[in-house]
Amino acid sequence: MTAQIVTLPGDGIGPEVVAEGVKVLRAVADRFGHRFTFEEALIGGCAIEATGTALPEETLAACRRADAVLLGAVGGPRWSDPTAPVRPEQGLLGLRRELGLYANLRPVRLYPDLREVSPLRPERLDGVDLVVVRELTGGIYFGPRQEATEERPTAYDTMVYTAEEVERIAHVAFRLARQRRGRVTLVDKANVLATSRLWRRVVASVAASYPEVSWEPMLVDAAAMHLLRRPADFDVILTANMFGDILTDEASMLAGSMGMLPSASLGEGRRGVYEPIHGSAPDIVGQGVANPLATILSAAMLLRHSLGLEREAQAVEAAVERVLAQGYRTADIAEPGTQIVGTARMGDLVVEALAG
């Protein structure tokens, strides 16, 4: 097949990890006889420097034309002034919003060779295989807000959800659970928040059309604890925008590192944005040591969800598994007895494993 892929490397280590994602996609095209074309565009801090805005019109237009988008990371210390009117994160949030990508899938899979890398005791990790379904274009990220000023030192953010927004993301979670272990955990704060009480009501009614899926609500503070205490019990976690942001950083530790977790952001069509869940990692930028596996695994999700290439997606995931089994590690997942490699070498190894 032919596919047009837009890459948005962004800031910090974004360009380093996206280069490896592209390398792997090119190798997939070669090996399976597809034609992928790539177009690079600006987003985030680098876009602000070049154009004055974090999401230039051209970038958005290129993404709209594309079959899929592979994104690195946005943000960094250079743009961290909280009072600045333009911020790199606006690029990412604007893109999600403009493309209508309301469903963010963040699978947490433990590669067996990384059992010892997680800060959790290895026996706690047996059977960990969950997906967080995070609502991505609503909630407190997008509700009315007021910035504080010198004269008026009061700020607010507002969490708003409509029943329709909850309903469509609930369907995503239940459809997914139906193909998996058939369990949905709705994570909310219904003992305090009105939005969470709406979520419970809407999810209960959506659940009625999926008799083969069981579900339970769980308060977010308890969920943060249970994710560490009994992570293997979770199958699909359905949650609002900000809770999902927080819980997926926590959940990444089950997989050993932030550098291991991919994500897919999807809307009504097939087009999606694929990105590692980690940030721009300013502390290691330019050193060639960043872990590209989250981006490579995001590329696998791109093959699966936007291009419908399930076999190719599995081949990439299997290649990653093989490279880890061979003992190669980037610094963030290294252990005694393993061989530390840099970003580009890790990408090459995945390509080799794909061919072999």
Question: Which residues does the annotation mark as catalytic?
Answer: 141, 189, 221, 245, 249
CA distance 140 to 227: 23
| Residue 89's binding partner out of ligand IPM, Mg ion, none, with CB under 5 to 8 Å set by partner kind | ligand IPM
Judged by beta carbon, residue 294 or residue 354, the one nearer ligand IPM is: 294
Q: Nearest distance from residue 133's CB to ligand IPM, in Å?
A: 14
What angle, rounded to 10 degrees, do the helices at 343-355 and 310-325 form? 120
Q: Nearest distance from residue 283's CB to Mg ion, in Å?
A: 17
Q: Which residues contact 312 (CB under 8 A, 6 or more apart)?
A: 28, 32, 34, 300, 303
Contact 252, 277 (CB under 8 A): yes
Of residues 223-252, those binding ligand IPM (CB under 6 A): 245
| Residue 92's binding partner out of Mg ion, ligand IPM, none, with CB under 5 to 8 Å set by partner kind | ligand IPM
Q: Nearest distance from residue 248's CB to Mg ion, in Å?
A: 6
Q: Nearest distance from residue 304's CB to ligand IPM, in Å?
A: 19
Residue 133 makes contact with ligand IPM by CB under 6 A: no
Size of the site for ligand IPM (CB under 6 A): 7
Longest CA pairwise span in the chain (Å) = 65
Q: Nearest distance from residue 323's CB to ligand IPM, in Å?
A: 25
Residue 177 makes contact with ligand IPM by CB under 6 A: no
Judged by beta carbon, residue 43 or residue 349, the one nearer ligand IPM is: 43
Judged by beta carbon, residue 21 or residue 244, the one nearer Mg ion is: 244
| Residue 12's binding partner out of Mg ion, ligand IPM, none, with CB under 5 to 8 Å set by partner kind | none
What is residue 236's three-state secondary structure?
strand
Q: Could you tell me the two tokens for 212?
A: 């083969």
Residue 69 makes contact with ligand IPM by CB under 6 A: no
CA distance 20 to 348: 8
Of residues 258-277, those binding ligand IPM (CB under 6 A): 277
Q: Which residues contact 265 (CB under 8 A, 6 or more apart)?
A: 96, 99, 101, 103, 104, 105, 136, 272, 273, 274, 275
CA distance 125 to 243: 22
Contact 28, 306 (CB under 8 A): no
Name the residue whose CB lies closest to ligand IPM. 89
For ligand IPM, what does the binding mask look like between residues 73 and 112, x meaning CB under 6 A? Answer: -xx-------------x--xx-------------------
Name the residue whose CB lies closest to Mg ion. 245
Return the C-alpha torsion angle 248, 254, 260, 266, nearest 10: -30
CA distance 142 to 135: 11
Q: Nearest distance from residue 265's CB to ligand IPM, in Å?
A: 9
* Residues near Mg ion, by CB under 5 A: 245
Residue 335 makes contact with ligand IPM by CB under 6 A: no
Judged by beta carbon, residue 245 or residue 317, the one nearer Mg ion is: 245
DSSP state of 287: T
CA distance 114 to 106: 18
Residues that bind ligand IPM (CB under 6 A): 74-75, 89, 92-93, 245, 277
